[in-house]
Amino acid sequence: MSTRLIYFAWVRERIGKPEEDVELPAGIETVADLLRWLKSRGEEYEHALQYPDVIRVAINQEHVEHREKIAGAREIALFPPMTGG
């Protein structure tokens, strides 16, 4: 099952695309695992996710912590802290 990853703001700009569908390898259980795996996929990811702590994550359009399990996620979004309002 593939998972849709969506990127916003400077995460999107650094990775160089707004979204992509990925097959998550076995062993990727939490958001933190996902960030670690993505970071290893090339220098654009390395650049975007250099400081994983600042990356905010939403699963199926709801905010989650990095320790959250991603099992069953259709859509995972990565973005910087929000600056709306």
Partner 1 sequence: MPAAVVPTVRIQAEDFDVAAEIAKMTQGRADIGAVVTFSGLCRDEAGRLAALELEHYPGMAEAEIGRIAAEAVQRWPLQGLTAIHRHGRIAPGENIVLVVAASTHRQAAFEAANFLMDYLKSRAPFWKKEHHTDGSEGGWVDAKEADDEAASRWKQAVPKRN
Question: 45-50: long-range contacts at Cβ-Cβ below 8 A with a sequence spacing of 24 or more?
Answer: 45/15, 47/14, 48/7, 48/10, 48/11, 48/14, 48/15, 48/78, 49/11, 49/78
Q: Given the rule CB under 8 A, which of 7-15, 21-29, 43-51, 64-72 is the region that contacts partner 1?
A: 7-15
- Distance from CA of residue 10 to its chain's centroid? 13
Looking at beta carbons only, is 18 or 42 nearer to partner 1? 18
As a whole number of angstroms, the distance between CA 83 and CA 20 comes to 24
Per CB under 8 A, 77 contacts partner 1: yes
Return the number of the residue (36 or 61) whose C-beta is nearest partner 1.
Answer: 61
**Interaction of residue 44 with partner 1, rule CB under 8 A:** no
- Binding to partner 1 by residue 10, rule CB under 8 A? yes
**Sites of contact with partner 1 (CB under 8 A):** 6, 8-10, 58, 61-63, 77, 79-85
